[in-house]
């Protein structure tokens, strides 16, 4: 009797195992059959035996499905180990080897995108870059309708381009993905949410709001709560960028409630980091510290989240600087240096920037290669091209000669203008040196300086808006001359001595009654005492008129009713 029970248990167990297998619909055409198989894929967690059992029918099928088998098996092992591993690397290599030998570009593109996403997901940005560029090149030579799961491929490339900072390319790819995504699907909501996010990166707030609203409406309609939480987080970022901090915090807290409830750990941590940034901006430091501590615990528990740890430490550094905590500031700086070194081959800002530049170069090289191939097909037109080229060359030579003459004339005129203005400056300085450097002579000197500065600004504006702008950009003589008119420390001391000599009692009273005045304050006060306008003071000190006004406002706020006393006396 016992043996019968064991047999029944084993029978039901084996039935359960074999029922958990992928189904191949052999009545569909090749592409639809492959897509149907891929869309059946599921996450078995750490149970790689169940994964292999589920995928087993693919291994007994045609080569296309074997390619998919090794690719999905590699992805499953990555999920099981939560990181890069030798088994996944081996299976991805096998899938790509078979795909290249099969010469099926549509399937090969999918296999490349899947492998690149594995590298990208676990922060191997540099390695992922080359794989994505291979896929990008093949996409440019393949009809989108021939690509296996085009929406998924375009989406993954879009995410990667966004990560390396090529935001415009990311939006282009995600919009392609949007065209192929199933209506009312989780994938479509994800794509629209990310398009909105990348428009935020470009500060195109109207477009961002439009796409985020679409994603929010769709995710609620299909009850995709995780995506809805992510949309709330991105809407919070939009409010933050628009300066609405309270609304941003409210949206991020809503995001956190949903993400925690549904155990979406990665999104929870992303929301924590963004919320901390907003709380710091709002000077709610205690709350920011609490949220950052939670974010730090999770990020440090995952080896592939060093970039998050880096971002969190940058926020800790900002808090230390706000609190004037020198010790914590040094601790954060040391940790950031260590993390930056560890991220060199991963996703540090420097590495992402390098990846972005390399991506642009590779795409340019690819486009150039395609252009050359097209050119070779049109060799029959070579004779006409040679004739046209010769004519163009002749015209270009004439233009170069004409432009050189014009440029020489402009340079001569530029040099004359600079020389004239330099002579005026020298004359003014000589006139001052020939006097006893009294306050009266300084007043005349400063007045002449203001006139010369005004004239220089006009000349600079005129040249920058003319065809001679390149000359100033190259030589920068007018800008240097303008900078030389600014009040140096030596000029200030000479002027200060002359002012003190002319108004000894007033100066002593000023120093005695207002001991907290800085040298910067004294410059503003003494120049105002001479009756100079805000415009004249800003020109002499090399600051904006707004800066002069703010300095006055700070003095008025600091001294209140005593403000007017700053300018009384002789």
Question: Which residue is it, tokens 């029959």?
Answer: 380
159 Cβ contact list (under 8 Å, min separation 6): 117, 120, 170, 174, 194
CB 340 within 8 A of CB 348: yes
Please, what is the Cα angle at 328 between 326 and 334, to 5 degrees? 105
Alpha-carbon separation of residue 527 from 33, 449, 541, 548 (angstroms)? 83, 13, 10, 11
From residue 75, alpha-carbon distances to 19, 86, 111, 187, 422 in Å are 22, 12, 11, 18, 71
**Residue 238 DSSP symbol:** H
Whole-structure pTM value: 0.56
Q: Which residue's entry shows tokens 């940058």? A: 314
Token pair of 196, please?
């909105």
What ranges in 262-381 are assigned the alpha helix state H? 265-281, 285-300, 306-322, 326-342, 349-377
What is the three-class DSSP state of 220? helix
Nearest residue to 512 via CA among 440, 551, 569, 560: 569
One pLDDT digit (tens) per residue for the chain, 570 residues: 444 444 444 444 443 444 488 898 888 888 898 988 888 988 888 998 999 999 899 888 888 898 889 999 989 998 888 888 999 899 999 988 998 888 888 999 999 999 999 988 887 877 888 888 888 889 988 999 999 999 999 999 999 888 888 899 999 999 999 999 999 999 999 999 999 999 999 999 999 999 999 999 999 999 999 999 999 999 999 999 999 999 999 999 999 999 999 999 989 989 899 999 999 999 999 998 898 889 889 888 887 788 888 888 898 889 888 889 888 888 888 888 888 777 765 555 555 555 565 566 566 556 556 655 565 666 667 777 877 888 888 888 888 887 777 777 777 676 777 677 677 767 766 666 666 666 666 667 777 777 777 777 777 777 777 766 666 666 677 677 666 666 767 777 877 777 777 778 888 888 888 888 888 888 888 888 777 888 888 877 778 889 888 888 888 888 777 777 777 655
Fill in the DSSP letter of residue 184: T
Cβ neighbours of residue 130 under 8 Å, at least 6 residues apart? none
The single-letter DSSP state of residue 561 is: G
């Amino acid at each position: 009797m016992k043996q019968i029970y064991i047999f029944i248990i084993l029978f039901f167990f084996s039935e359960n195992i074999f029922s958990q297998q992928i189904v191949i619909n052999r009545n569909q055409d090749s592409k639809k059959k492959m897509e149907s198989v891929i869309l059946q894929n599921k996450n078995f967690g750490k149970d790689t035996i169940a994964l292999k059992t589920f995928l087993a029918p693919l291994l007994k099928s045609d080569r296309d499905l074997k390619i998919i088998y090794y690719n999905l098996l590699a992805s499953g092992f990555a999920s099981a180990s939560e990181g890069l591993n030798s088994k996944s690397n081996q299976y991805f290599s096998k899938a790509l080897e078979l795909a290249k030998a099969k010469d099926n570009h549509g399937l090969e593109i999918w296999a490349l995108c899947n492998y690149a996403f594995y590298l990208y997901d676990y922060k191997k940005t540099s390695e992922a870059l080359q794989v994505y560029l291979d896929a990008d090149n093949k996409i440019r030579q393949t009809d989108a309708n021939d690509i296996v799961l085009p929406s998924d491929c375009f989406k993954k490339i879009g995410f990667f381009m966004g990560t390396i900072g090529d935001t415009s390319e990311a939006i282009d790819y995600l919009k392609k993905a949007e065209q192929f995504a199933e209506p009312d699907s989780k994938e479509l909501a994800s794509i629209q949410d990310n398009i909105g996010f990348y428009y935020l990166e470009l500060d195109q707030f109207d477009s961002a709001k439009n796409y985020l609203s679409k994603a929010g409406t769709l995710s609620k309609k299909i009850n995709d709560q995780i995506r809805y939480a992510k949309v709330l987080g991105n809407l919070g970022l939009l409010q933050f960028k628009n300066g609405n901090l309270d609304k941003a915090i409210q949206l991020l807290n809503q995001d956190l409630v949903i993400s925690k409830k549904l155990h979406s750990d990665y999104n929870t941590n992303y929301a924590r980091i963004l919320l901390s940034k907003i709380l710091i901006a709002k000077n709610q430091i205690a709350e920011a510290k609490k949220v950052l501590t939670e974010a730090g615990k999770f990020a440090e528990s995952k080896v592939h989240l060093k970039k998050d740890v880096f971002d969190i430490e940058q926020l800790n550094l900002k808090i230390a600087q706000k609190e004037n905590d020198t010790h914590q500031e040094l601790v954060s700086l040391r940790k950031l240096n260590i993390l930056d070194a560890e991220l060199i081959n991963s996703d540090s800002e420097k590495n992402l920037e390098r990846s972005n530049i390399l991506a642009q170069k590779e795409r340019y090289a690819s486009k150039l290669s395609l252009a050359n191939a097209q050119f070779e097909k049109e060799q029959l037109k070579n004779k006409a091209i040679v004739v046209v080229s010769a004519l163009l060359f002749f015209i270009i030579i004439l233009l170069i000669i004409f432009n050189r003459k014009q440029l020489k004339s402009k340079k001569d005129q530029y040099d004359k203008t600079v020389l004239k203005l330099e002579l005026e400056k020298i004359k003014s300085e000589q006139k001052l040196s020939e006097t006893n450097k009294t306050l009266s002579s300084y007043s005349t000197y400063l007045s002449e300086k203001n006139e010369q500065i005004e004239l220089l600004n006009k000349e600079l504006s005129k040249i920058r808006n003319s065809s001679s702008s390149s000359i100033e950009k190259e030589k920068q003589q007018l800008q240097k001359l303008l900078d030389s008119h600014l009040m140096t420390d030596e000029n200030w001391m000479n002027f200060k001595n002359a002012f003190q000599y002319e108004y000894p009692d007033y100066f002593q009273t000023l120093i005695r009654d207002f001991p907290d005045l800085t040298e910067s304050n004294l410059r503003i006060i003494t120049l105002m005492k001479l009756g100079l306008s805000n415009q004249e003071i800003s020109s002499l000190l090399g600051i904006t008129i707004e800066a002069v006004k703010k300095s006055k406002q700070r003095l008025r706020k600091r001294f209140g009713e005593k403000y007017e006393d700053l300018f009384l006396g002789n």
